[in-house]
Amino acid sequence: MAEKVIPLADHRYAASVPLIPSRLVAPTGLLGDRLGRPLHDLRISVTDRCNFRCSYCMPKEVFDKTYRFLPHASLLSFEEITRLGGIFAGLGVRKLRLTGGEPLLRKDLETLVAMLGALRTPDGEALDLTLTTNGSLLERKAAALARAGLRRVTVSLDALDDAVFRRMNDVDFPVADVLRGIDAARATGLAPIKVNMVVKRGTNDHEIVPMARFFRERYGAAVTLRFIEYMDVGATNGWRMDDVVPSSEVIRRLNELWPLEPVDPNYTGEVAERWRYRDGAGEIGVISSVTQAFCSSCTRMRLSTEGSLFTCLFAQDGHDLKSLLRTGASDEEIRNEIAAVWQRR
């Protein structure tokens, strides 16, 4: 018998989770997949559009002026996203990350942030609400996002050298504007801030040390720089293993200049491996998505812009939740569908 469900029209509360057979419960007592991994994180794509054309993600030769992005009616509404967020919270999700495309291109995104920020877990705790952005609109949006309840922000920045960065984003966008966005986020309390650098050999790997030097000297512990191995995200980026700079090489290069020591993860299933500067100038992270894949500890699901649910970043086929939302399915029916997807994982 299911517990009483608080209507999600009142966004102050998340739905309660129904009773789950013990064999499908993770060691933590939460919903578990076939390996006992609990569901903890949900990445929510709010738009498929982006104003950058980075070669490793949305290359211009594919996403050109003739490319057909989703019409607005195909996107999940803010109300639909919030309803799902509450259901996921009832199933154990404690962290929501808004992504895109570039999420700040979604009109009135701060309204969605406020709606999600009002959700609570069954024990009354607020969710960890964060956002990943290319930083192009962050300077003008940071204050509104902070007022709406956004807690943290992650900014993508692949080079400090302006010419390299403009070449990589392929729309001639300057580094200085991204840095102003980071400063604006800090000023409004969106902290701690993380900066993600995708490293591609022969393209921007010479920027590893300058990026580390800049962020440790300018921001110290206030900003964590993370280096991400260049990875295959589909058939659009011409991925080759020769382009990958292993995380071990990144750590070696930096350790030669500023001695590092490992740091324990913040939580089970954290993607980034943490390293601390021994001189106290903050920390860095490495995400070894190619050389040390973290599949065995993955606790994440992904909700696409059009409402499909994926259990892996590399999955080709999703599970349609939008149809359930738009054909009158109850919260319990949607919850059971999500639970079944995770339990089969």
- The tens digit of pLDDT for each residue in 272-292 reads 999 999 999 999 999 988 888
Q: What is the pLDDT of residue 232?
A: 65
The rounded average pLDDT for each run of 10 residues, N- to C-terminus, in the chain (345 residues) is: 33 39 48 90 97 92 94 97 97 96 98 97 95 98 97 97 97 98 97 95 97 97 96 62 93 98 87 95 93 84 97 86 97 96 93
Q: What is the pLDDT of residue 220?
A: 95
The answer to whether position 269 is within a domain reads yes
Q: What is the pLDDT of residue 313?
A: 75
Q: What is the pLDDT of residue 271?
A: 87
The answer to whether position 314 is within a domain reads yes
The answer to whether position 225 is within a domain reads yes
Residue with tokens 């293993």: 241
Distance, in Å, from the CA atom of 190 to the CA atom of 225, rounded to the nearest integer, reads 15
Beta-sheet pairing, 300-303 with 308-310 = antiparallel
The answer for residues whose C-beta is within 8 angstroms of residue 227's C-beta and 6 or more apart is 197, 199, 208, 247, 250, 284, 285, 286, 287
The answer for residues whose C-beta is within 8 angstroms of residue 124's C-beta and 6 or more apart is none
The answer to whether position 1 is within a domain reads no
Give the DSSP H or E segment for 340. Answer: helix 331-344
Give the DSSP H or E segment for 251. Answer: helix 247-257
177 DSSP 8-state letter: H
Distance, in Å, from the CA atom of 195 to the CA atom of 219, rounded to the nearest integer, reads 11
Q: Residues 63, 117: contact at Cβ < 8 Å? A: no
Cβ neighbour number for residue 64 with a 10 Å cutoff: 9
The answer to whether position 6 is within a domain reads no
Q: What is the pLDDT of residue 20?
A: 44
The structure tokens listed for 254 are 């930096």
The answer for residues whose C-beta is within 8 angstroms of residue 64's C-beta and 6 or more apart is none
Q: Which domain holds residue 148?
A: 22-344
Residue with tokens 């993370």: 226
Cβ neighbour number for residue 236 with a 10 Å cutoff: 15
Total structural domains within the chain: 1
Residue with tokens 């966005």: 181
Q: Residues 45, 109: contact at Cβ < 8 Å? A: no
Q: What is the pLDDT of residue 70?
A: 96
The structure tokens listed for 279 are 């001189």
The structure tokens listed for 25 are 């419960």
Question: What CATH code is carried by the domain that includes residue 69?
Answer: 3.20.20.70
Distance, in Å, from the CA atom of 44 to the CA atom of 174, rounded to the nearest integer, reads 27
Distance, in Å, from the CA atom of 194 to the CA atom of 182, rounded to the nearest integer, reads 9
The answer for residues whose C-beta is within 8 angstroms of residue 51's C-beta and 6 or more apart is 102, 105, 134, 136, 171, 173
The answer to whether position 3 is within a domain reads no
Nearest one of 6, 77, 43 to 325, comparing CA atoms? 77
Tell me the HSE value of 46 on the side-chain side, using a 13 A CA sphere: 27
Distance, in Å, from the CA atom of 140 to the CA atom of 322, rounded to the nearest integer, reads 32
Cβ neighbour number for residue 128 with a 10 Å cutoff: 15
Q: What is the pLDDT of residue 6?
A: 30
Rounded to an integer, what is the distance from CA 205 to the centroid of its chain? Answer: 23
Beta-sheet pairing, 283-287 with 300-303 = unpaired
Nearest one of 217, 200, 213, 218 to 164, comparing CA atoms? 200
The answer to whether position 153 is within a domain reads yes
The answer to whether position 35 is within a domain reads yes
63 DSSP 8-state letter: S
244 DSSP 8-state letter: B
193 DSSP 8-state letter: E
Asked, as a colleague might, if the bond just before 328 is cis with ω within 30 of 0, I would say no
Distance, in Å, from the CA atom of 128 to the CA atom of 150, rounded to the nearest integer, reads 9
